[in-house]
Chains A and B, each alone.
Chain A
Amino acid sequence: MLPIFVIIPLGCAFLIPIASKWRKGSAQILANLAGGLLLLFSIKSIFWLKTGIKLYYLGGWKPPFGIAMALDGMTVLMLIVVNLIGCLALVYSIDYIKRYTSPALYYTLFSLLLAGLNGVVVSADLFNLFVFLEITSIASYALVAFGTEAEELEASFKYLVLGSVASILILLAIGMLLGSVSTLNMADISRSLAASSSSSKDIILYCTALFIMGFGLKTALVPFHAWLPDAHPAAPAPMSAMLSGVVIKTIGVYALCRVVFNILGFTQMISSIFIWLGIISMLVGVLLAIGQWDFKRLLAYHSISQIGYVIFGIGLGTPLGIMGGLFHLFNHSLFKSLLFLNAGSVEYSTGTRQLEKLGGLSKQMPVTSATSLIASLSIAGIPPFCGFWSKLVIIIAAFQANNIAGGVVCVLVGIITLASFLKIQKYVFIRKVEEAMAGVKEAPLYMLFSMAVLAVLCVAAGLLFLPFMDTIIKPASDALLEGLNYAGLILGT
């Protein structure tokens, strides 16, 4: 059943241009149908996992020779993140994309993006992962430039150049691994590296450096973050939600963790690199965010900072830290997507996203205002909402691992985050109404629907966080903690 996650969106991307030739509205029906099906299957995959790891051999060839697909705890978590946000962003697009001239092209690219993301997640073959990663990247470069205004093209070009350099570095690392162990199956690579002599230590070191540079660029960790604050605001709003909520996590954090934990082996050195990258990203991201006056640009800087939390938590390497990091990854995908959708609906109704020009929208746009309040409280870590629990788990894990400085930085960044989201609430929603804002209406129905669903999920994940962590997050962190035993699980024996 695994290839279905790639087949549905890929087939949809193929059908949309044909179908939209003879009927105009068919593109959005097809794309939303595919999104809904994918969401259904990804929720079903929780139950597939109950009977152990699922494998699929492409063309029936067994692992060391053919391409394999695998489903373990980490895969299930990422499938849910990708398809949940993807489906809601597609529902949101029904109304939002009417402002653009060619919706069919948008839905085609969006389906390709979903195919690439799902492919990255289910693939158990390193080169196959690279191919899907490139499909994702090309679709997102094109979607960032979708408006074809001057700023959007400029942002897309920046993203293209840095993204391509990252891809080249990843390909080089894959080549080095292929040269030293002559296989591409992830499990087989990890087994061969463990079995071979001491010279493979150097190869592992080189490859780790290249992978951290490559996936770090895709994740926008701080020394590599220059493209993100331009690219994420330039895209159409549902696409911004996908980029910040899903893309940087799947082709960045997920791929990096899979490679580092299950193939190369998680060492003390990698742990400290992750911790430092995380701390620097948290601090720099949030400090740069304070001074921003563009709604979406401010949110983009917060993405850097929140991804810092995820990498910091995972880098601690303790079971609690990894669980906190992955839980924060899930929560961040919920509330950051919601915030970008809010920004999109504010821009849709008022035509601007400059904070100084907005004001007093809580009367005219009650749903947008309420959902953005929930999202802001979640991202700032106020108790009953989901962001609080994941940050709490990460901070406790930091103190347990004797990383006092990291824990203190986490708390501090949380406070600054709260300050900058109070700024958004004040300038956009609470401040006194200006003349220019008088005629503003609430956003259309489908946009409100996906924002409301995300807000409910934010509250639900906060209130029900214990059963939630048991069913979804725990298997994912167990899959990472298996470490190099992953090879035994996939290859049998």
Chain B
Amino acid sequence: MSIYILCLILFAVGLYCLLVKRNLIKKIVGLGIMEYAVNLFFILLGYRHNGQAPILDKEQAIVNMVDPLPQALILTSIVIGLGVMALMVAITVRLYEKYRTFDIGEIRRLKG
């Protein structure tokens, strides 16, 4: 159980970073931490203590395998996360070219 709480704390660290930090790059890092906390949560769902790799072999009896499904899902999720991260960094670079700053307080032409 405690390992899930640690995972939740990791999630909360990411959320705190996203909400409080004013630097765009730090916000992106916070979002990355949140995402990996959720990925870790998925992996924990399939985890068995002293588990074996889920490879079906003739000699090997099926005892105490880890669940392969969450691992397969998380591969997809990591790739999606990579795409979002790349787009985010690209937009941040362009924002820096326009505003000459990473401070979210000074990037506010839109309001109302």
Q: Hey, which bits of chain A sit against chain B, CB under 8 A?
A: 127, 131, 134, 137-138, 141-142, 145, 148-151, 153-158, 160-161, 164-165, 167-168, 171-172, 175, 178-179, 182, 184, 229-230, 291-292, 297
Judged by a CB distance under 8 angstroms, whether B45 is at the interface is: yes
**C-alpha gap A178/B87 in the complex (Å):** 29
**How far apart are A259's CB and chain B's nearest CB, in angstroms?**
17
Closest to B80 in A: A134
Interface digits, B71-112 against A, CB 8 Å rule (1 contact, 0 not)? 001001100100110011001101100110000000111101
Contact A155 B110, beta carbon cutoff 8 Å: yes
Secondary structure at chain A's binding surface: helix, strand, loop or mixed? Answer: helix
Q: What chain B residues lie within 8 Å of A149 (beta carbons)?
A: 98
Contact B80 A131, beta carbon cutoff 8 Å: yes
Contact of A160 among B42, B80, B88 (CB under 8 A): B88
Secondary structure at chain B's binding surface: helix, strand, loop or mixed? Answer: helix
**How far apart are A483's CB and chain B's nearest CB, in angstroms?**
27
For the complex of A and B, 6 pairs with smallest distance between CB atoms: A150-B98, A179-B45, A134-B80, A230-B110, A153-B95, A175-B42
Contact of B83 among A127, A138, A156, A184 (CB under 8 A): A138
Looking at B27, B80, B83, B109, the one whose CB has the most chain A CB atoms below 10 A away is B80
Known: A131-B76, A134-B84, A157-B95. 12 other contacts (CB 8 A): A127-B76, A138-B87, A148-B94, A151-B109, A154-B109, A157-B107, A160-B87, A164-B88, A165-B31, A168-B35, A179-B45, A230-B110
**C-alpha gap A145/B97 in the complex (Å):** 14
Contact A165 B70, beta carbon cutoff 8 Å: no
With A154-B107, A154-B109, A161-B27: A175-B94 Cβ-Cβ less than 8 Å: no
**C-alpha gap A182/B67 in the complex (Å):** 10
Contact B45 A150, beta carbon cutoff 8 Å: no
Looking at A127, A131, A148, A154, the one whose CB has the most chain B CB atoms below 10 A away is A154
A-facing residues in B17-65 (Cβ within 8 Å): 18, 24, 27, 31, 34-35, 38, 41-42, 45
With A171-B77, A172-B38: A161-B18 Cβ-Cβ less than 8 Å: yes
Question: How many A-B residue pairs lie within 8 Å, measured between CB atoms?
Answer: 87
Q: Determine the interface band of chain B, counting residues with CB < 8 A from chain A.
A: 20 to 34
Contact B91 A292, beta carbon cutoff 8 Å: no
**How far apart are B112's CB and chain A's nearest CB, in angstroms?**
7
Contact A171 B31, beta carbon cutoff 8 Å: no
**C-alpha gap A171/B80 in the complex (Å):** 12
Closest to B42 in A: A175
Contact of A157 among B70, B83, B92, B112 (CB under 8 A): B92
Closest to A131 in B: B76
Closest to A159 in B: B91
With A141-B87, A153-B94: A297-B31 Cβ-Cβ less than 8 Å: no
13 chain-A/chain-B pairs, Cβ below 8 angstroms: A141-B91, A150-B95, A157-B24, A157-B88, A157-B91, A160-B87, A160-B88, A164-B31, A164-B84, A165-B31, A172-B41, A175-B38, A230-B110
**C-alpha gap A134/B38 in the complex (Å):** 15
Q: What chain A residues lie within 8 Å of B24 (beta carbons)?
A: 157
Q: What chain A residues lie within 8 Å of B99 (beta carbons)?
A: 150
Contact A150 B109, beta carbon cutoff 8 Å: yes
**C-alpha gap A168/B42 in the complex (Å):** 12
Contact B45 A178, beta carbon cutoff 8 Å: yes
Looking at A131, A156, A168, A292, the one whose CB has the most chain B CB atoms below 10 A away is A168
Closest to A133 in B: B80
**C-alpha gap A158/B110 in the complex (Å):** 11
Contact B91 A171, beta carbon cutoff 8 Å: no
**How far apart are B94's CB and chain A's nearest CB, in angstroms?**
5
Contact B45 A145, beta carbon cutoff 8 Å: no
Contact of B34 among A148, A168, A175 (CB under 8 A): A168
Closest to A293 in B: B112
**How far apart are A298's CB and chain B's nearest CB, in angstroms?**
11
**How far apart are A384's CB and chain B's nearest CB, in angstroms?**
35
Q: What chain A residues lie within 8 Å of B87 (beta carbons)?
A: 138, 141-142, 160
**How far apart are B43's CB and chain A's nearest CB, in angstroms?**
10
Contact B27 A160, beta carbon cutoff 8 Å: no
**How far apart are B106's CB and chain A's nearest CB, in angstroms?**
11
Contact A297 B112, beta carbon cutoff 8 Å: yes
**C-alpha gap A286/B54 in the complex (Å):** 55
Contact B45 A154, beta carbon cutoff 8 Å: no
**C-alpha gap A137/B34 in the complex (Å):** 18
Q: What chain A residues lie within 8 Å of B77 (beta carbons)?
A: 171
**C-alpha gap A403/B48 in the complex (Å):** 51
